[in-house]
A and B are shown apart, each in its own frame.
Chain A
Amino acid sequence: NAGVTQTPKFRILKIGQSMTLQCAQDMNHNYMYWYRQDPGMGLKLIYYSVGAGITDKGEVPNGYNVSRSTTEDFPLRLELAAPSQTSVYFCASSTEGQSGANVLTFGAGSRLTVL
């Protein structure tokens, strides 16, 4: 049981390049999330999904896109990378139900630097 798997762990991009951060979970969780974490700023929600085929914008969606074609996968695409997107990105998932709701399982994180 791998939990939430994110790749890559580290990446350096040049301004204007594009890339996709991959996220997969094997817990059959219906909810998935992408956060970014900047020093001293906590976790900011980029996009989230309540199930396959459904995605919604979070607080900081500009410059990103997502898709959710399967329950397991929730990739995050960065188009035209900018230095402001330098951050640590976390994918997370959770299940619905009173006992499990809101308890996120996080991936290990992806450190992205845009130069």
Chain B
Amino acid sequence: EDKVVQSPLSLVVHEGDTVTLNCSYEVTNFRSLLWYKQEKKAPTFLFMLTSSGIEKKSGRLSSILDKKELFSILNITATQTGDSAIYLCAVGRRNYGGSQGNLIFGKGTKLSVKP
């Protein structure tokens, strides 16, 4: 069965720290890797990565994919209390079907940023 594993499961840092969240995967027919941020409600989309080595960046957040080693990292620099959330990693597959559907989620990393 395909799987996505995120680490750490939870993390507590202080404002201004830099954090790195990890996502490794074993997925057949890989198509894309996505990062979502979930605060109190629904997950919101951050990045989609399809090619190795190309960094995606949005403000203080950045992400990169390594398709050879089958992992991705999400970096957050100069963290703020508003970055406190669950960060979800998901891997999309090319061929739809089966009980896992075409998008497999990890369990998430809960980030808490203290003032």
Contact = CB atoms under 8 A, between A and B. Distances in A.
A42 B99 CA distance: 16
Interface residues of A, number: 24
Contacts of A56: 97, 101
A103 B106 CA distance: 15
B32 A101 contact: yes
Tell me the interface secondary structure of chain A in the complex: loop
B88 A45 contact: no
Contacts, number: 58
B103 A59 contact: no
A106 B42 contact: yes
Nearest to A107: B42
Contacts of A105: 45
Given A40-B9, A43-B88, A109-B42, A104 B106 contact: no
Contacts of A103: 34, 45, 48
Nearest to B41: A108
Interface string B87-114: 0101010001101111101111000000
Interface of B: 9, 31-32, 34, 41-45, 48, 88, 90, 92, 96-97, 99-103, 105-108
Q: Which 10 A-B pairs have the closest CB atoms?
A: A102-B92, A106-B42, A42-B107, A43-B105, A42-B105, A45-B101, A48-B101, A59-B99, A102-B32, A102-B103
